[in-house]
Structure 1
Amino acid sequence: MRTHADRLRHTLLYELIGLVVFTPLVSWVLDREMLRVGILAVSMSLAAMICNYLFNLAFDHLLLHLGHPLNVRPPWLRALHALSFEISLTAVTVPLISWGLAMPLWDALLTDIGFTVFFLFYTYIFNWAYDTAFPMPVPATTDSESSGD
């Protein structure tokens, strides 16, 4: 399992890279001021960091409970991870979007769907790259396992 420090590094890198790409893109697509979108993006980022940490911790515990090795992440599991995270985050972000961009909840939901599609792909790519750069630790074997007992 990843350490708390590794989870913190993962979360901070994910949010920082996301902010750098997301803010100018949304400002341009929605024709809104960069400052307004930036404040919204930082608010959403803070909410997402907390959700990300808790969600990833719960996801890993679920994998352990199901007996799935933590260092094996096939594409279908990465897709499930990304999709389930984005669905859970939507409940938090729609009210933030509504407030931050001064739009009705329905419009905020539609806007959030666009954000979710963007972050669905971003999450998949980021986690693959992160696991490549910072591989999951391989569990140590015990003496009885290595001697064949």
Structure 2
Amino acid sequence: MNTNKSWIERAAHALVFEILALAICAPVLAWAMGSSMAHAGLLTLMISLIAMLWNMIFNTLFERVERHWGLVRTFAVRVMHAVAFEAGLVAAVVPLAAWWLKISWFDALLLDIGLLLFFLPYTVVFNWAYDKLRETFIKRRSAVRL
């Protein structure tokens, strides 16, 4: 699979990923925390912006490692990708959630674990589907050029 992506494609990938995640997470977080949709939505948006930036940085680095080691994008590689991505995100989200919600870091970590239980499978499935759609698009575009 061709892993060379422009910054525009990377930004579009991250944006679609985050918009879909926001649409799912903000109402659930508001309900689970007993807070207003606005309060939960703003926290979710801040986490989303951090995640978008991390997504672009992490994927650039991951793809360099992937090319260097000659990795093939199997489902197992996508699982490894998701776990490593989420681990990095935890380091940024826990302090933010603790501050925003005025809760302990431990409680913020528990909240983040809840988010992680959603985002790990979401990340794997989203990126796997993205890879498949992208591969199909590239093959069709190449066929049209011939």
**TM-score band, normalised by the shorter chain?**
0.7 to 0.9
The answer as to whether partners of 1:11 and 1:49 remain within 8 angstroms in 2 is yes
Larger deviation, residues 34-43 vs 124-133: 124-133
1:66 maps onto 2:54 in alignment: no
Q: TM-score, normalised by structure 2?
A: 0.87
Counting matched residue pairs gives 135
TM-score w.r.t. length of structure 1: 0.85
Which is greater in Rg?
1
Structure that is richer in helix per residue: 2
Gaps of 5+ in 1: 139-149
Q: Percent same amino acid among aligned pairs?
A: 39
Aligned counterpart, 1:146? none
- Contact 2:94 / 2:105 at 8 angstroms: preserved in 1? yes
- Cα displacement (A) at 1:5: 1.5
Assess if the C-alpha contact under 8 Å between 2:98 and 2:105 holds in 1. Answer: yes
Written as runs of structure 1 = structure 2, the 5 A alignment for 1:1-149 is 1-68=4-71, 72-135=72-135
Question: Considering only aligned residues, what root-mean-square deviation do their CA atoms show, in Å?
Answer: 1.4
CA contact (8 A) 1:37 1:100 kept: no
Shift of 1:104: 0.9
SS in 2 for 1:32: coil
**1:67, CA displacement in angstroms?**
2.2
**TM-fit CA distance, 1:9:** 0.9
More relative contact order in 1 or in 2 (CA 8 Å, sep 6+)? 1
After TM superposition, give the deviation of residue 83 of structure 1 in Å: 0.5
Q: Which runs of 5+ in 2 are unaligned?
A: 140-146
Is 1:83–1:120's contact at 8 Å kept on the other side of the alignment? yes
8 Å contact from structure 2 (residues 43, 100) kept in 1: yes
Q: Distance in 1 between matches of 2:35 and 2:86?
A: 24
